[in-house]
Structures are given as structure tokens and as C-alpha cells.
Amino acid sequence: MVPLPSPGIARCLGVLIASLLAQLGSAQQTGSRAGAPARVDFARQIAPILENRCQACHGAAQQQSGLRLDHGAAALKGGYSGPVIVPGSSSTSRLVRLISGGEGDLVMPPFGDRLSSDEVRLIGAWIDEGAHWPATEADAKSARADPPGSGHWAFRPIAKPDPPAVRRVSWVRSPIDSFVLARLEREGVEPAAPASRATLIRRVSLDLTGLPPSPRAIDAYLGDPSPAAYERFVDKLLESPHYGERWATQWLDLARYADSDGYEKDNERPYAWRWRQWVIDALNDDMPFDRFTIEQIAGDVLPDPSVDQQVATGFHRNGLKNREGGVKLEQFRFEETVDRANTVGTVWLGLTVGCAQCHDHKYDPISQEEYYRFFAFFNSVEEAEIAAPMPGEIGPYLQALPEYLKRRRELLEANRVYELLPAWETKMVEAADNPGKWTDWDHALDAVQKYLDNGEGIVRKQRSERTDREQLKLEDHFIKNYHRVISKELWKELDWVGLREQLLRMRAETPDLTYARAIADTSPARRTHIHLRGGWDALGVPVEPGTPGVLPPLAQQGKHPRLALAEWLVSRENPLTARVITNRVWQEFFGRGIVTTADDFGTRSPGPTHPALLDWLAAEFIGSGWSLKGLHKAIVMSATYRQSSDSRPDVEDMDPENELLARQRRLRLPAELVRDVALAASGLLDTRIGGPSVRPAQPPGVADLAYAGSVKWEASRGADGYRRGLYTFLQRTAPYPQLVNFDMPDRTAARCARERSNTPLQALNLLNDSTFVEAARALAVQSLAAGRNVFDDSIRAAFRSCLSRVPTAAELRHLKQYYSEQKAIFDSEPVLAAEFMPLEMPGLDAAQAAAWTGVASVLLNLDEFITRE
Amino acid sequence: MDLSEYRDISTRRHFFRYCAGGIDAAALAVLSAGYSNALAAPGPAGPLAPRAAHFEASAKNVIFLLMAGAPSQIDLYDPKPALQRWHGQPLPESMTKDLSLAFVKPSAKVLASPRVFRRHGESGTEFSDYIPHVASRADDICLLRSMHTEAFNHHPGQSLLMSGSTQLGRPTVGSWVSYGLGSESESLPAFVVLSSGRGSSGGSSNWSNGFLDSTYQGVVFRNTGEPILFLENPPGVSERTQRARLDAIRKLNQERHALTADSEIASRIQSYELAFRMQAAAPDLLDFSEESQSTLDMYGVGKEPTHPYATNCLLARRMVEKGVRFVMLVHASWDDHQEIDRKLGNNCAITDQPAGALLKDLRQRGLLDSTLVVWGGEFGRTPMGQLERVDEAAGRDHHAKCFSVWMAGGGVRGGQVIGKTDELGLGIEEHPVHVHDLQATILHALGLDHERLTYRHMGRDFRLTDVGGTVISQALA
């Protein structure tokens, strides 16, 4: 017999035996018992213990570890680790172990005196007697009550409020203005004057396309006196393919997009851009946001998904990946799933669901159980690579394929690859089934799993079940990694290092398709459990996929759970998505959201400054068929948007943060746009849309700071060196310095708003970085050509390219003075002149050209130049 | 700093326009007068303006010597003679069943250290013969032999050590410090990073500002070429023409400011002036001509293999003298899975003399009292060898359960050892010190309460020590 662990338990067992016998009934009474023991009185003996010692943490107010001990059904259900009360069996009830010290260091209650042995005995006896818990009136009431938190503004349904009445009706151009003006009138504040036409079109061009208006567009607009001129201008911008580039940036921040894995060796993701391409295209096509959502969250499980719909699921592939040797695969898979759940929670729901990974959310009505129900939607996600060819790729690929495969086959044949591969596969599967048995093979399997999408799955398939690409990738992996399981001698003899180089060369010379990083589901679906304290390997009770109870119910209708989730996010009943999205759009146009916490619509959010406006926009957004372009147009057409951004000393004291929207705001451009405007104004910009990421020149040594020489930054040549900032290759452990200096997020997790810092490094960047020096030279050449030797005209042309306006007299005077001083200096130092401006300029000597380049450089450094006014 | 204090700072621009003499007085001077006035009243303004600590600080500056890759405590700081008995044998399973190991199996054979340990200084702390120079500062050093962490892979481990979380994306300790205290320097960044060796696993995430704005990023300072990116004027631009360019930019910015009254323009002007001063000050740091030959020799500047690390250590002292708040030196890599004795010897030959000299130099100049120096990596290494063999080809695996870190100066009581590991170096017997405790202690030395230095992001008040951290009071004088 097993020794009894403690007197307490022994006592309980004694009681258990006694009560079991009691339950057998009087008919089988044994001779050794004098009579049935007195029954425990729950209301008198048990309820007070629970109330005084347990319910502070396990009651109505909070349910630590998911456990409630204030009403019967919940108590019997147990907590996240499972039931704690087994009716009729105190010896197997965890509750008894917890209160009697039988769970190691963990004793309940964790503070105050321990329960007395009498109390422990009573609870044990009560459980042994069947843990009978009479229902009370309070239970019935609490079952009917609304879930806690459902009164919070963000969880209430979106109604479309009518625009309020205002006095100054003439100011109102759109219902948006009525909401804003009503508040202003209430506070006794006049709106600001409209921005000048020049300021307005630079503003709206930067907001909608991220590029300054071309001099020609400025002329056309200023020359068009019609009241409809602005709307026509806006419509053109919305039709511009640069619109998708501008608005993709915000989505890339939310989707934590990057071109590399993020951890340690920070491997390149050569096809990450294919998802970005999908985003740009979708935005340019004004894909309705509900479809935009569904395809990214669940494109792979739509009926007969198209390639594009599968590409869209690359959203889930943008998170960090740790392929460090020695990383536990299941641990990291758990962390990736957490990242997917948290990202969707933030991006669509504006909720910090991630707070409930380890414990019930401290502020919002999201329990840890609900967190793992949400997590369950993503728990069966597997990584998949698909062919996602760009136009024009398929023909040459198919043409070259047979010859390529033939040559490849010959090469592999000659190098014994086909001969050795089957045994390696077999042994790999054996290793997978017997972890810890063979160290070398464990490591080899680890490499397959880390470096091949769904690596183990592919190895386990029969050759005939694999796609051709899976087979080729497996062969490539085998050739690269076979050394892990064979002797040095054999590896040397095989010389597969040479073979690999040959294969890479062949691959590079053969036309190939573009691929995409997508997802697929494991089959059967993985079972999800609550993870106790958020630990990857601490499994609690199993849970089913589901959405938080405070939000409208999920309509499953036999759908794939992830698809049901996607549709639920953009259902009319969902109170969050439309509010969250319109708020972020608003934030881009005004520098702050109607809700300032764009990443948190929970109970800790200060709430909307203009609640009715937010709801009107959200309802309008849904009503328009989720058209982002429609929403953008509604905002930029409003008088509110068109106000001047100059400061208002009359309002500043009462409204320093411009909460009332009594003016527009000057906003420093996002990092990518700082680059874009310099390249665009100087005529250097390569305006091609989309395509793979590029590596513009950066100072030497930047990439060396990444891990052990694993990152190489070979500057792109030709036009690729002059592309917009959003195409810059995003190497997470050694990001492009200019983007970092101007607050591009690190893209480790969803980011809902950017900082706008103002630092000396930014000054150095604009003054001295070769990109901006080159832009100054190009601007000098370009604006001079427009104004032939006439200094004033040239300055005007340069001003127009950079700032979309003409200079003031004082500005002209300062620049002229600067020019002549510079010219004098360069006259005396011709070597410096030629270094600063190596290009010849028609009609100018070297000193003039250098001084003129200096003027151009001044313009590119102005605060106004990198600001949207 | 709590949220309300931070709001004060961010709305400061509003405030200063109506309260001349506020912390942006210098920016105001630039606006209202010429550049000479601006120079007369320099000083960091805006988000880097010096801020009061929570309580009296024992340290003004920190030099963090990050030994990326995880140096072996068993061969450097934590002698384990008992391993000799087990050398070449696997340990019984009962001893190893709770270990989390990256590569080796718990059944791997024990690898006793070939190093010789001796007692040093009046305190008699034991150090390995590989680090005589650091050992010579025994009485300045508070050795923590009972450090532990959760992470046993490099990048998560470095992330936990520097930012308090294994998940990337949080601000690192230097960013927190410059966010909490601002800058003391009027011409150099508050948080500077110096790197040597191969790049670390964490790369730039080891000095990331996370979700704080880029004002608080660690600025990489290179000891060859251009010290700070974009610091040098473009070709053909002399100091004179650069100054003229800045003046022209300032005049036009002032014109715009007059029209828009946007205080961001004032900050921009200030940033350009600070940039100009940085252009002069940063290269001066690299000018070692005023350093005596004996100082250079003490660090090992100009000699191999010490030169690169010695240069960084000397630069660190010079930066501290100039008011740089937080200097971080990254040296990689100590990840010796194979040939650990030889490789560890190499890294010690590179770093020991400069690190020892740094402590000595700071002490001699009276700077050690106000400068906290921290030496450590992201975790430790196993008592077991990595290969089947236990000869010179053997190395050690990652070990999260115990490792050694030391601190010196800045209010730390030297000449003591805190904590004790078991006789085989598998786990901790006394006074466990978590990475968060180390972080809490660093902040504490700077006068910051790690529970009050918070930043609201994603609906949550984040702090460096996440949800943990206890100041190691025994370490403090």
C-alpha cells in the first residue's frame, strides 16, 4: 500500500471511506460502524469558509486561475487547470490538496492563516458527501445579468447618429463638420480659417499618395477657379497608384511586416514582399475592407481560394521567427500563435487581448479562458509556401522547366543524391517518432523543421504525395544538411558543397516564379488548452474556439472556425472593428485619433473626444460597403480637414492638444515619406509600383552590427536605389538607419501609431547622408533648368518642387544672401566646390553650381519640407 | 516617471512658449536671436532635458559591458573543483532532470574547468587565471554568482537581459534610463553603443528604443571611420560652409515659425544646433592625444589583441566624463560550444586588460563612485561538455539556471560575492538573483524606482522589469 502523504489526507480518506459506506446505504451497513455520520451543513459550515477565505480571489469580482467558488455550477466546473472538486472523492479533489498543503509550495489561501484542520476536514467531508451545493436566488440573478463590461462605450452597438444642429451652417461642408462645429460652438471657439490652396493640395497629396504634387499639377489646380477643382484634384489622387503605396505603410505597421525573421541570424524572407504587393493592389482597387479582412485572416479556407486569396494570408506570416539552434519548436510555435492572436486582437478589435495570456485581463472583460478560445482560431495554422507568379513569369518558367529539371536530375543522379535520400528520409521519420534517441538525428530533424516550411510534414509524405516544389526543396535541404548525420570523410568524398553551388547557379540562371508565404491548416485541427500562467508547456483544461463573451456571438454555421471569426470581425453587429479602423484613418489625417489610444479601446481608454462623430464615421464606413477610399474622401472633403494648421494662440491655453479640432495640425512626415519627398522633389524617384524589396545605399558597417556577419547589405543598383521608402528591405536586426532615425517602428508587433520625434540624428541624416546630398544636387540641376540663369525663377521652381508654394520676400532675401556668401567661399576654394557639386551645370561655373546646390540642400532640410502642414 | 509626468513633458512645448525660462529657454533663444545666443545657452532641451530622479542616486552614469553569447562562469568566476571528480562522467539523472538545455542531453559528460582560480584583493574573491586584470580590481567588484534567467537561447536571452522581456520590441535599459533621466550632455547623445567582435545575436534590438520614440535610441558610435552615422560633412562642405548652411536653414525655419507659431519648428532648430555641436564633440572623443602613454598602455590601446576593445573602454570613460548617461559596450561572441578553453582564452585576452583598466582608471580619476560598471552576458554555461569527448575540442552548452555577473562603482559595495551555486554549478543554493533584480538595481543606483519608471503602451504600463524585480540591497554600499 502507498504510504499516506499526510495526516490531513489520511483524515480525509477516513472520512471518504466513511461517507462511501454511508452512500452504499443502510441496507449494507457493516458491523463495525455504529451509525451514519452527521451530514455537513453547506450553508452553515462550508459557505462561510468559502466566503471569508476564498471568494476575494475566486468570486464574482475576480476569478483567479478561472476558478469561482461562489456558486455551485462554476465551482464544480473548476478552474483553468481543470476541476478542483470531485464530488464524492475528497482524496482526488485538488481543492483539498490545495488547502491542506498537499501541493508542494502552493497552499490556499496564499495569505492569512492556513485553514484549520477542522475546516479542511469539513470541506473534505462535504465533498465526500457529494459536494451538494444548493442553488440560491443570487445564482439565478447572476446568470441573467449582462456580462461585466458590456456597458462600456466601445462594446455598445454602433448607431448612426444624426449630425447635430449648428449655428454657423455656412461652414459645414459635410456631416463631419456638423459634429466638430457643434462641439466648437459649445466651447465658444471659432474654427480656423481654411488653409491656403497651396498648403491644402500639398497636404492632401501627401496624405493620399505620400508624394508632393508635381509643379504641373499645382499649376493646373491653381489655374482652375471652379469650386469643384478641389474635388477633382482629390479624385485624381484617389485614383493614383501611389495611393496604395501611401496607405500600405500604415497597414504594414499593423501587420508587423518585415523582410527578415527577426531573431539572431535574422534570415532573409525573399518573398515577403509578395504579401505587401497584395496589400498595395487591394488598397488601389479599393477592395472593401470586409473582404480585405476575410482574405487576410482566412483566405486559405475560403471555398476554392484563388492564389491572391492565399497570398493575403501572408498577414499571419509577418511575425518574428526564431530559428536559433536549440530553440524548442513547440515553444516557439506557441509564441507565434500568441503573436497571431494578439495581432488580430489589436488590429481589428483594438483590444489588448494579449494581457490575458497569463491571467484574466486586469481591466477588460477578457478572461484567460476567453483568451485561449480566441487563440484556438490560430492554433492549427501551419506555414505554407505557394507559387504566386507575377504577370509575365509563367511563360518563361514553363519554357525553361523541362530542361532545368532534366539537368538537375542528371546532376543529382551523378552525385548519388537519389541513392542516399530515401534512407535519410526513413531515418528522419524514425527520429521524429523517437525523440532523444539519436542526438545527431534530433539536430537534423530540428533543422528540417526550422528551415523548411512544414518540414516534418514533407518528410513524412510519400514522394508521390509531395508537390514538385516540396520535393525540390527537400532535396535542396538534404544536400545542404546531410553533413549533420554522416562522417566528415563521407561528406568530403561527396563534395556536395560544390554541388550546391552548381545548383544555385543553375537556379539563378533559370526563370523562376514568385512564391508567397501563406498558411494552411493542420488536419485534424489541434486541440487547444488553456496555458496556465501563459506557459507554453503548462496545459490546463481544453477549450473550443470562441470570441469574448462581452461581444456579439459568433455565427459558426458549420464554417471553418477561422473563417467564421473573419466574418464575425466585419459583421454589422461587431461594435469594434469599424470604430477601430475609422479611428486609425482619422488619426492619419489629423495626427491624433478621436480615440487617442488607437491600440486600446478597452476600459482604460480615455474614450472618444467626439463619440457621435466616431460612430457616424463607423456607420458610414460600413454603409458605404466598407470603402476605405470613400472614407478617405469624406474626410478630406470636410471643412474640418481643410482648416489651416497654424497654431491658435487664442485656443492654445484651453486646448493645447487640439482635441477640439479648432485647426489642422502640422505633422512631421513618416520615415518612408521623408525619403520619398526628397527623391520626388529632386526628380530622382523611381515611380514603379510594387515588386521585391530593395537595398538603397547605406553607410558601411551598419549590417555588421547584426549577428556574426549573417546579414549582407549589397546596395541595389540603378533605379532600384531610388525607390520609395516602403520598398526598403526591412532587416529587423539591422534596419535602414534613415528609417530608424525617423521613427519607423521595429515591426516586432502590431503598431497602431507612430512617434514623431525631433532629434539631432535626424538633422545629421538630412544634412549629410549621401542620399540627401544627391537629392540636393539633382534638385539644383532640375530647378535651374526650369529657370535659366534667373536666380529668382530658379528659387521659385525649387520652392515649388519642394514646398508647393512660392517663397516670401524674406525667404528670397535669406537665400540670396546665403547663395552669394557660399559663392564667395567656393570661389576661393574651387576644390571644395567641385567635391560638393561634381556635376557640370550649364551656364554656371563650379562655384556657382556648388553654391546653388547649397541652396537646394537648405530647402531639403527645412522643417516645412519634411512636414505636412 | 508616470504617465502624468510624461504628459507634462510632451505638452511642455505648449508651456514653454508662454513661460520663457522654462526648459526650452535655449530653443527660445535660438528663435529670438542669432546663433551666438544659442551657443551661449546650450543644453539639451525637449524630451532629453535632464529630469529629476525618484530619489537620491548613487550613480550618475552606467557603463554596461555586454558579453554577448554567454561567457562561461565555470571557467571565469565560479570555481567548481568538485567537477574534477566527475570529469568525463555523466551526472546521475536525478541531478539533471530539471535542466533546460539547448543542445546537449542531460546525460552529457562533465567537463571540469582546466583553469586555475586564486583569491584576490583584501576581500579574497576567487577569479580564474584567464582574467588577472579584472581580478586585480577584486575589491571594487561585487560579484553576483547566483544570477538566473528563463531564456536559454541567445536572442531571447539578450532581449531579456537588455529589455526585461524575451519578446522583442521593448525599450532597452539604456533607453529607459535616458527616458527617465534625460541627458546631461549638451553635445552628445544620452545613450551610446560601442561594438566589437562579431555582431551579437540581438543586433540592434539590444539597444532598441522599443515603443519609446527614437529620441531614446542607443546611438552607435564607431571607433573607426565616421564615429556616428552621418556625422561627417558631405564632400566639399567645410565646417564654415556647414555653419552657413545651418544658419540659412535656421533663418528660413524662423520665418516659418513666425507664420505658423508651431513649437515643433523651435525644436527642429534646436536639434540642428545640437547636431552641429555633436559634429565637433564626437570626433574629439576619438582624439586620444591628451591621454598619457601610460593610460593608453594600461588599456592596451595600440596593441593586439586588445586594441579594439581597449579603444571602446577608453572611449567609455571619456564619454562618461562628457556626460553621456549610458554607455553600452557589446562584445561578441562568447558562445563557445566547441574548443571553449582556447576560445575563452582569446576573448579574455581581448577584453580582460581593457575592462580591468577601465575600473582602475575610473577609480584613479574619482569617477568610479558615480559610475556603475556592469559586466555580464545573457546566461551561463553548463558544467557538462558539449561533445562526446572532454578534451580540448569540448565546449559547453547554454545554462540559464545559474551564471555570474559583476557590478562595480556607482554606489555598489565592492569586494563581496553575492549568492552561491551548488558544488557542480547546476543550480543556485543561496540568494538567487534574477535578471530583473539586476535591472531594478541598476535603475535604483541611478535614483529610479523600477516600479515607477513606466510607459503606457497598448493599454498597459510597461516597465523594464516587466512584472518582477527586487533591488539587490546587499549589493549596495
Chain B residues with CB under 8 Å of A749 CB are 167, 169
- Going by C-alpha positions, the residue among A86, A350, A707, A771 that lies closest to residue B206 is A707
Q: Residue ranges of chain B with pLDDT lower than 70?
A: 1-45, 387-389
In a shared domain, residues A122 and A134: yes
Q: Which three cell numbers stand for residue A299?
A: 483566405
Closest CB to B255: pick one of A322, A811, A835: A811
- Going by C-alpha positions, the residue among A554, A549, A628 that lies closest to residue A586 is A628
CA–CA separation, A305 vs A402, rounded Å?
Answer: 28
Question: Strand A667-668 to strand A867-868: parallel, antiparallel, or no bridges (unpaired)?
Answer: antiparallel
In a shared domain, residues A799 and A829: yes
Chain A / chain B CB contacts < 8 angstroms: 270
Question: Strand A381-387 to strand A515-521: parallel, antiparallel, or no bridges (unpaired)?
Answer: antiparallel
In a shared domain, residues A18 and A135: yes
In a shared domain, residues A134 and A42: yes
Chain B residues with CB under 8 Å of A849 CB are none
Chain A: closest CA distance from residue B277 (Å): 10
Q: Which domain holds residue B369?
A: 59-240+294-475
pLDDT at A786: 55
In a shared domain, residues A173 and A89: no
Phi/psi for B438 (5° steps) reads -60, -45
CA atoms within 13 Å, Cβ hemisphere of B328 = 31
Indicate the DSSP class of residue A638.
S
Chain A nearest-CA residue for B104: A439
To the nearest 10°, report the CA torsion of A504, A507, A508, A509.
120
- Going by C-alpha positions, the residue among A579, A48, A364, A182 that lies closest to residue B460 is A364
In a shared domain, residues A116 and A214: no
Chain B residues with CB under 8 Å of A867 CB are 264
Any domain includes A600: yes
Q: Flag if B275 and A767 touch (Cβ within 8 Å).
A: yes
Mutation choice for A interface testing from B260, B338, B343 by most A CBs within 10 A:
B260
Residue B127 pairs in a beta bridge with B118
Any domain includes A718: no
Tell me which H or E stretch contains A385. strand A381-387
Chain A residues with CB under 8 Å of B459 CB are 352, 355, 363-364, 597, 599-600, 602, 604-605
- Structural domain count of chain B: 1
Query: How distant is the alpha carbon of residue B220 from its chain centre?
Result: 12
Any domain includes A715: no
CA–CA separation, B268 vs A181, rounded Å?
Answer: 32
Question: Strand B326-332 to strand B191-197: parallel, antiparallel, or no bridges (unpaired)?
Answer: parallel
Closest CB to A324: pick one of B155, B226, B279: B155
Indicate the DSSP class of residue A386.
E
Contact present, B465 and B456 (Cβ < 8 Å):
no
pLDDT at A138: 60
Any domain includes A733: no
Chain A: closest CA distance from residue B299 (Å): 24
Chain A nearest-CA residue for B249: A858
Domain boundary residue, one of A144, A174, A205: A144
Mutation choice for A interface testing from B13, B14, B201 by most A CBs within 10 A:
B201
CA–CA separation, A233 vs A352, rounded Å?
Answer: 39
Any domain includes B425: yes
Q: Where are the alpha helices (DSSP H) in A381-495?
A: 394-414, 417-433, 439-451, 455-460, 468-481, 488-494
Q: Flag if A322 and B156 touch (Cβ within 8 Å).
A: yes
Tell me which H or E stretch contains A517. strand A515-521
In a shared domain, residues A442 and A430: yes
In a shared domain, residues A221 and A109: no
Phi/psi for B97 (5° steps) reads -65, -25
Indicate the DSSP class of residue A442.
H
CA angle B270, B275, B277 (to 5 degrees): 95
CA–CA separation, A46 vs A682, rounded Å?
Answer: 81
pLDDT at B223: 79
Any domain includes B53: no
Chain B nearest-CA residue for A320: B168
Any domain includes A479: yes
Q: Which three cell numbers stand for residue A55?
A: 471568494
Q: Flag if B458 and A320 touch (Cβ within 8 Å).
A: no
Q: Flag if B105 and A759 touch (Cβ within 8 Å).
A: no
Q: What is the largest CA-CA distance in chain A?
A: 124
Q: Flag if A647 and B262 touch (Cβ within 8 Å).
A: yes
Chain B residues with CB under 8 Å of A331 CB are none
In a shared domain, residues A440 and A545: no
Query: At A518, is the secondary structure helix, strand, or coil?
Result: strand
Task: Summarize chain A as % helix, strand, coil (round to 5).
Answer: 55, 5, 40
CA–CA separation, B213 vs B216, rounded Å?
Answer: 6
- Going by C-alpha positions, the residue among B358, B348, B346 that lies closest to residue B310 is B358
CA–CA separation, B47 vs B393, rounded Å?
Answer: 52
Q: What is the 3-state secondary structure (H, E, C) of chain B?
A: CCHHHHHHHHCHHHHHHHCCCCCCHHHHHHHHCCHHHHHHCCCCCHHHCCCCCCCCCCCCEEEEEEEECCCCHHHHCCCCCCHHHHECCECCHHHHCCCCCCCCCCCCEECCCCCCEEEECCCCEEEECCCHHHHCCHHHEEEEEEEECCCCCHHHHHHHHHHCCCCCCCCCHHHHHHHHHCCCCCCCCCEEEEEEECCCCCHHHHHCCCCCCHHHCCEECCCCCCCCCCCCCCCCCCHHHHHHHHHHHHHHHHHHHHHHCCHHHHHHHHHHHHHHHHHHHHHHHHCHHHCCHHHHHHHCCCCCCCHHHHHHHHHHHHHHHCCCCEEEEEEECCCCCECHHHHHHHHHHHHHHHHHHHHHHHHHCCCHHHEEEEEECCCEEEEEECCCCCCCCECEEEECCCEEEEEECCCECCCEEECEECCCCCCEEECCEEHHHHHHHHHHHCCCCCCCCCEEECCEEECCCCCCCCCCHHHEC
- Structural domain count of chain A: 6
Any domain includes A719: no
pLDDT at B337: 87
In a shared domain, residues A422 and A499: yes
* CATH number of the domain enclosing B75: 3.40.720
CA–CA separation, A81 vs A85, rounded Å?
Answer: 12
Any domain includes A352: yes
pTM value is: 0.87
Question: Helices B263-286 & B25-32, crossing angle to 10 degrees?
Answer: 100
pLDDT at A790: 63
pLDDT at A8: 44
Q: Flag if A734 and B203 touch (Cβ within 8 Å).
A: yes
Q: Flag if A832 and B238 touch (Cβ within 8 Å).
A: yes
Contact present, B147 and B157 (Cβ < 8 Å):
no
Contact present, A420 and A344 (Cβ < 8 Å):
no
CA atoms within 13 Å, Cβ hemisphere of A400 = 15
Q: Flag if A699 and B229 touch (Cβ within 8 Å).
A: yes
Q: Which three cell numbers stand for residue B132?
A: 588577472
The C-alpha cell 559634429 sits at B279
Mutation choice for B interface testing from A758, A817, A839 by most B CBs within 10 A:
A758
Query: How distant is the alpha carbon of residue B11 from its chain centre?
Result: 30
CA–CA separation, B141 vs B415, rounded Å?
Answer: 5
Q: Flag if A763 and B272 touch (Cβ within 8 Å).
A: yes
Q: Which domain holds residue A77?
A: 7-144
In a shared domain, residues A131 and A16: yes
List per-block mean pLDDT (blocks of 10 residues) for chain A, which spans 869 residues.
Answer: 42 46 41 54 87 86 84 85 87 88 82 86 88 71 60 94 97 97 96 96 98 95 94 98 98 97 92 98 98 98 97 97 86 95 97 91 91 97 94 96 95 95 94 81 87 88 90 94 89 93 94 96 92 93 95 88 97 97 98 94 93 97 97 98 95 90 97 98 97 95 83 93 98 94 93 92 96 97 70 90 96 95 95 94 90 97 98
In a shared domain, residues A18 and A137: yes
Any domain includes B37: no
Any domain includes A781: yes
